[in-house]
Chain A
Amino acid sequence: MRSSTFLLCALAVGAVVFGLSRFIQSEYFFFAGYVVLQYIVLATAWNILGGYTGYVNFGSAAFFAIGAYTTVAIHKTFPLPIPVLIVIGGVISGLVGLGTGYLTLRLRGAFFAIATLALAVVVQTLITNWDYVGGSRGAYILRPAAASLFGIYQLNYIEYLFLIMLILVVLAVATARAIEVSRLGFGFATIRDDELAAEASGVPTLRLKLIATTLSGAFMGMAGAPYPYYITYLDPASGFNLSYAVNSIAMPLVGGTTTWIGPVVGAILLGTIQQIATVTISSAVNLLIVGLILIAFVIIAPNGLVGLVEGWFRKKDA
């Protein structure tokens, strides 16, 4: 399937999801759904670097928070519409991604992962001490009660945020899919398989890795940009929450890292389970569930759900 066709299909699926959501009266659905959608973007973004090129990023929370805090900073100076904030947040996070790439991509494996973890700590310390965006006190964002689409269609604000995140999901997934089937995707896969052999075959590995860190960082920042409007009170503890780093790794691993569908499936599955657990058991049990599921998958299905299904079909063929 051509990438443009895929984008149209993804848009159609997004439109159907939004259309169906119009029948739901509960506002809670949109609150929970927003989080699941946000995780689809985060997991897909993580997978562009972690799944396609094999570089494990433990600092997702930093990129997410950079997007969110960009919004806070702009909101306090000169409020802009959310789609514009998403673009700005994406650009800034993408630039941080590019810088991180330059500084760390000589490191491989666990060393790269540790460096990204360190990046998260550094960024969090900077934000905590930046008074303008609230520092450790946090910042309040007053959101309007409703938003209007094209000046005609009135939407409850949480439904508006849900719609925006849905569009972002379509964009992120379509981008990931386009990379996967392109020459760029082939190049990314050679980096994951064997960097030395990739260079010897003429793949400019450093340039490709920088493209991956930039795109990955940009999408994480875009996922974070609308977040202050969703949460209305943002402090470093929630912006840099451990759950972002853990989930954006766990979701692609559970779903499968080699294709675009893996992070989507993983995020829907884990995200939904966490939302249900939050209301039925307790909000603290979330990460425990993620941990247990991750352990189970590492043992039973190391290539994720996608790998499990593929293996099943291969066995059927043979």
Chain B
Amino acid sequence: MAAPLLEVDNLTKRFGGFLALENVGLSVNQGERVGLIGPNGSGKSTLVNCICGTLHNEVGTVRFDGADVNGLKTHERTWLGMARSFQLPRPFTSMTVMDNLRIPLIYTVDARSKSRLSPSELQERCTELLTLVGLQDKARKWPRDLTQVEMRKLELARAMAAEPKLLMADEAMAGLSHSEVSDIVSLLIRLNERGVTIVLIEHIMTAVMSFSQRLIVLVSGHKIADGVPQDVIQDPDVVRAYLGQ
């Protein structure tokens, strides 16, 4: 079997005296759809931040696509093929929806290929991405004019614009209605079918269960389960963590 796309080994992260993550290890294979769940404050977002380089982990290693990325800055990891969406959408507010997507194209795709996309190619790619997420009519709008669900879609489209190998979607559905959730899930599955490996961090169990091929559970900084979703949610430790004794 090919080497995993993402390998996290022995990762520990402290904030002062607080141990946010302790000896976390996981691996994600090429093309996989992995769900990452855990109660609030269990360290899910911290883990994503450490993998992406937003936070610096003192202990442990992160390997991506065969390379050790410890010590690389966030943008360098993005160039290697990692992408993420943020829990709370963080669009570039002074740019139109279309221009938001141009940023990863000119700063990541061009940096990777060491060439420059022409203005018409840029336009074409942006339109394609907007069509993919269903925002083609909003290209000239400003982020402040978008609804919550549209903002999440923009967030995903911007992450996808960098042509990532791995996409980490950090609570892309929090606060959305039922139909909006299934909208995003089917979008993520479409992206996965295009060959993108996806790690989904989520609280909404119906979404996680319908999406994930494998489930990883994090509780107070420790990984307590990792396996087939149906088995994992029946694991006594996981049930205890979510429901109490």
Contacts and interface: CB of A to CB of B under 8 A. Distances in A.
Is chain B found bound to chain A in the same assembly? yes
Interface of A: 183, 186-187, 189-190, 192-194, 196-206, 258
Contact of A202 (B91, B95, B108): B108
Nearest to A258: B94
A17 B153 CA distance: 51
A282 B54 CA distance: 53
Contacts of A204: 73, 75, 107
A201 B86 contact: no
B224 to A, nearest CB: 28
B102 interface: yes
B90 A199 contact: no
A204 B77 CA distance: 11
A204 B53 CA distance: 13
A203 B92 CA distance: 12
Given A186-B99, A202-B79, A202-B162, A197 B92 contact: yes
B92 A190 contact: yes
Contacts of A203: 75, 103, 107
Contacts of B78: 199-202
A187 B110 CA distance: 13
Nearest to A191: B92
A124 to B, nearest CB: 35
Contact of B103 (A186, A192, A258): A186
Contacts of A196: 54, 86, 90
A186 B95 CA distance: 9
When A and B form their complex, which 9 residue pairs have the shortest distance between CB atoms, in order from nearest?
A202-B108, A199-B74, A197-B90, A202-B78, A193-B92, A202-B107, A201-B104, A201-B103, A203-B107
Nearest to B90: A197
Contact of A200 (B74, B93, B95): B74
Contacts of B204: none
Contacts, number: 76
Interface of A, secondary structure class, is: helix
Interface residues of B, number: 29
Contacts of B93: 193-194
A233 B190 CA distance: 71
Contacts of A183: 106-107
B107 A194 contact: no
B52 A200 contact: yes
B86 A199 contact: no
Nearest to A189: B94
A199 B75 contact: yes
B158 interface: yes
A193 B93 CA distance: 6
Contacts of A202: 75, 78-79, 103-104, 107-108, 111, 162
Given A196-B54, A199-B54, A200-B74, A186 B106 contact: yes
Residue in A183, A187, A200 whose Cβ sees the most chain B Cβ within 10 Å:
A200
Interface string B52-90: 111000000000000000000111001100011010001
B91 to A, nearest CB: 7
A187 B73 CA distance: 16
9 contacts: A183-B107, A193-B92, A200-B52, A201-B104, A202-B79, A202-B103, A202-B107, A202-B111, A203-B103
